Amino acid sequence: MANKAKKILVTGAAGYIGSHTLVELIHNGYELVSIDNLSNSYASAFEGVKAITGVQVKNYLIDLCDLAALRKVFKEEEKIDGIIHFAAKKYVNESVKFPLLYYHNNLESLINVLQCCAEFEVPNLVFSSSCSVYGNAEHLPVDENCPLALPESPYAQTKVIGEQIIQDFVQVNRLKVSLLRYFNPAGAHSSGHLGERPKQEALNIVPRITGAAMGKLPVFQVAGHDYPTRDGTCIRDYIHVSDIAQAHTLALEWLIKQEDASLCEVFNLGTGEGHSVLEMINAFEKANQIQLNYSLEARRAGDVVAIYADNTKAKNVLHWQPRHSLEEMMRSAWEWEKNLQNKNFD
C-alpha cells in the first residue's frame, strides 16, 4: 500500500471518534502515534483498538496545552506526515458554565499543534470542527458556503475561532488542512470493542437514551418540546461514528495527494437527513424492541433548533459515502451499553 510508511499523530485518540478512527487508519496501513491526557477517556480504548486490529497504539499521556511536552513528542517521533487533531472539550452546556476552560483548552492546544506543525514541518492536518459553527442556519440543508452564524455557545465559538486560526496560519505556512464539520456522531463499533465512554457524564442524545434504557438514568429527558419543528423537538443529522472515522482516512489520503503546499478545505460530514429527538426515541425502541421511559422537559441553553448537512462536497471530492443506517446506529449503541455493564474495564 502506498501510504504504508506514513506516520500519523492522532490527538484525542482515546476519545470516542479518535478511537474509531485509529481502527480505520490501521486498516489503511498507517503507522500511528497518539497524544491523549485521558481527561475524558480511558486507556481501555487502546485495548479495544488492539482487540479489533491486533495493533497496540503508543500513547503519550500529555496535555496539549503544555508546549514543551508536545515539542518533546515531535523530537522523539522525528518525521510525522500528518496530524488528526481531535482533542478538545466538547460539551455545549458545560462550555456555557465554564467558558474560560473551553477557550483555554481548545484554543491553546490547537495553537500548540500548529506551532509544532511549523517547527517540525508537518505537511498535513485534519481538524475536528462541528456543525455548531453554523448556529441556527437560515437554509437547510447547510452546505460549506453557508455563512457562519453567531455561535450559540462558547464551545461552538472555539470551533469558529479554531477554524479562523487555521485559515490565517495556512496563509503564511506550508500546511494542507481539511476542516471536517461533523454533524452528530452516534453509534459504536460493530465488534462491540469500542464505543462512547466519556469520563464526564455523557450528554449526547444516544448515550443518554441507552443510559436511560439501562436504568443508569431514571428517565430520558427530552430537552425542549416547543421548538418550531414537526413534533416540537430539536432536529439533528445523526451520523454513524464508523462513517465519520472512514471520512478521516479519505480526507488524509486526499490531502496527501494535493500538490499545493498550503490549502484549507472544509467538508461537512453528515448523512443529509434530519431526525427529531422523538424520532430517535422511536428508532431506538424499534431497533432494540425496548420501550424507553422518557419525559418532556424545558429547553437547554445553547441548543439550535434544527440542522442537517448538505454532504455533496465530501461525496464528490473525498468519495465518501455514509454506509450505516439509523437502525445500525441504535443497535450498536445498545450493544455497547450492554458491554459497558458486563465488561471489567479499568
Ligand X SMILES: NC(=O)c1ccc[n+]([C@@H]2O[C@H](COP(=O)([O-])OP(=O)(O)OC[C@H]3O[C@@H](n4cnc5c(N)ncnc54)[C@H](O)[C@@H]3O)[C@@H](O)[C@H]2O)c1
Q: Does residue 81 contact residue 256 with C-beta atoms inside 8 Å?
A: yes
Number of C-beta neighbours around residue 55 at 10 A: 15
Number of C-beta neighbours around residue 315 at 10 A: 15
Of 152-171, which residues contact ligand X (CB under 6 A)? none
Residue closer to ligand X by CB (options 109, 288) is 109
Q: Does residue 42 contact residue 197 with C-beta atoms inside 8 Å?
A: yes
**Among the residue ranges 179-187, 205-213, 310-318, 322-330, the one whose residues contact ligand X (CB under 6 A):** 179-187
Rg (CA), the chain: 19
Copy the grid coordinates of residue 260.
499545493
For ligand X, the binding residue among 5, 29, 38, 168 (CB under 6 A) is 38
Name the residue among 128, 122, 165 with its Cα closest to residue 256: 122
What's CA 118's distance to the chain center, in Å? 25
Asked if residue 21 binds ligand X (CB under 6 A), the reply is: no
Asked if residue 86 binds ligand X (CB under 6 A), the reply is: yes
Residue closer to ligand X by CB (options 38, 219) is 38
Copy the grid coordinates of residue 296.
418532556
**Among the residue ranges 1-9, 46-54, 83-91, 143-151, the one whose residues contact ligand X (CB under 6 A):** 83-91
Asked if residue 34 binds ligand X (CB under 6 A), the reply is: no
Of 200-229, which residues contact ligand X (CB under 6 A)? 204
- Is 102 considered catalytic here? no
For ligand X, the binding residue among 25, 28, 36, 322 (CB under 6 A) is 36
Q: Does residue 242 contact residue 324 with C-beta atoms inside 8 Å?
A: yes
- List, by residue number, the catalytic residues: 155
Which residues here bind ligand X, judged by CB under 6 A?
A: 12, 14-18, 35-41, 63-65, 86-90, 105, 109, 128, 130, 182, 184-185, 198, 204
